[in-house]
Each structure stands twice: as structure tokens, then as C-alpha cells.
Amino acid sequence: MGEPLLPPAPEPAAPRPAAPRPPWGTLDVALGLFGGIAAMVGAGLLVAAVASAVGLPTSGVVCRYLLVFVGDAVLLGAPLGVAVALGAATARNFGFARPRPRGLLLAVVVGLGLDALTLLYGAALQLAVPAVAERATAEETRQMAALDGPWPLLFVAAVALAPLAEEVFFRAFVFAGLAGRLRPALAAAISAALFAASHGMPASAPPLFAVGYACAALYRRERNIWAPIACHAAFNAAALVLRAVS
């Protein structure tokens, strides 16, 4: 028999998994938010009390990073507690699915682009409203002072733990919970606003809001939590490198 005139048709690509639809809703998200805030306040008071009892300075690197790690633990624990109470504590409900390599690459590019946007925002602010630009610089300096420590520890905290904890809380929990009851754009805006507010940096809120909104869009587009984590990690890593070289 002769060779076929046409090559065999390619096999159809495997369908992408459906977007996570967790069972928690707006009330559950509100309970998680208030519970998380209460837990953070209580944990902060406990760390301060223990530090005072053992003679550790509360401004020292041990106490500061202990507070950072406790905060990340609360961000992970609050939604997990809600999920356990609902009988829905599965990896899938929090978006832990196999990521697409292209999706991760896109997320990294978006994260670096957000760094460029942040630089443009700072330059525009300096030209238009110098007083607000000074406040933004002071906020960034205060935040970096709280993370002052060995570079390996700083990178673990800012590039690994913070993106994981914050994306699980603000995207897999808050955004996903709201998106099942509200329009996705509104849910993304609310989660981004909460994300920006959680940093306590009012003058830097617009670029932080942009980061939060972009991460929510990536979560919805890629249907897994690894994409916003990659975006967030790339944003933080580039910001640290830029600050170090400047």
C-alpha cells in the first residue's frame, strides 16, 4: 500500500480542568477575615509576651521574623479552618492543581511587568505629588526595616512564604469564595483592595491593588494557585533586587 496522502490528524489536547469552585461563600470569607485579624493580633501579643519573658528585644531580627512567620501561618490557617469546618479541606478547593508551563511563564512576565508599573507610578508620583511620594518612600523603608536581616532569610520570607500564604488567603479563599457569588471582576477588585490594605501602605496602595487584581485574573485564567504565586514571587524578587542595586 502507498503512503497516505495526508498526515494523521493530531490527537486533541487534553481539556483543561474546571476552575475551582469552593463551597465557601461571602459569609465564610467574612468569618475567615475577622478570625484571621483576631488571630494575628493575639499571635502578635503572644510573641511580644514570650520575647519579654525570655529577654529578647522585640525589635530584634528573631522577634521580627517570628512575627512574619506567624502572620503567614495565620493566613494559611484561617482559610484552612473554614474549609475544615465545611468539610471541604482539599488541595483542589485551594487551587493546588498541576500548572501549565506557559501559564507559569506568563505569570512571571506579569510579575516583572508589575514591577515596571510600580516604578512608573513612583516616578509619576514624585513629579505630580512629591509629598505623597515621600510618604510612599517612608512606607517602603519601614516595611524593609521590619524585614531587615540576612538576605537568605529575607528571600525565603518575601519570595517563598509570603507569596504562598497571601495567594492562598486572598486568591484561593477570598477571591474564589466571592467569585462564586459575585461577578468575577467585582470579586477580584474586593480581594485586591483587601490585599493592598493588608500591607498598611496607603501611599503605595495603587500598585499593590494592581498586583492583587492581576493575581486574581491569573488565578481565574490558569485555574490553579501556582500562577498567582509565581507572579507574586517574581514581583517581590525583582523589587528586592532593584532595591539592593539602587
Report the distance separating Cα 42 and Cα 173, nearest Å: 22
pLDDT category at 25 given cuts 50, 70, 90 is very high
Which residues does 25 contact at the CB level (< 8 Å), separation at least 6?
177, 178, 180, 181
Dig out the grid coordinates for 181 from the structure: 457569588
Q: Who has greater pLDDT, 134 or 246?
A: 134
Dig out the grid coordinates for 3 from the structure: 503512503
Report the distance separating Cα 146 and Cα 2, nearest Å: 74
Domain boundaries, position 77: 26-245
pLDDT digits (tens, 9 = 90+) for 57-92: 878 888 889 999 999 999 999 999 999 999 999 999
pLDDT category at 211 given cuts 50, 70, 90 is very high
Model pLDDT, residue 28: 96
Residue 1 lies in a domain: no
The burial class, CB within 10 Å (0-12 / 13-18 / 19+), for 98 is: exposed
Residue 20 lies in a domain: no
Evaluated on CA atoms 230, 235, 240, 244, the torsion sign reads: positive
Type of residue numbered 85: A
Q: Is the per-residue pLDDT at 6 higher than 80?
A: no
Mean pLDDT of 202-211: 96
pLDDT digits (tens, 9 = 90+) for 28-42: 999 999 999 999 999
* Per-residue DSSP letter, 94: G
Indicate the number of domains in the chain.
1
DSSP the chain: -PPPSSPPPPPPPPPPPPPP--S--HHHHHHHHHHHHHHHHHHHHHHHHHHHHHT--TTSHHHHHHHHHHHHHHHHHHHHHHHHHTT---TGGGT--PPPHHHHHHHHHHHHHHHHHHHHHHHHHHHH-HHHHHHHHHHHHHHHHHT-S-HHHHHIIIIIIHHHHHHIIIIIIIIHHHHTTS-HHHHHHHHHHHHHHHTT-GGGHHHHHHHHHHHHHHHHHHSSSHHHHHHHHHHHHHHHHHHHH-
Q: What phi-psi label fits residue 13: left (phi over 0), alpha (psi between -120 and 50 degrees) or beta? A: beta
Report the distance separating Cα 113 and Cα 117, nearest Å: 6
Residue 43 lies in a domain: yes
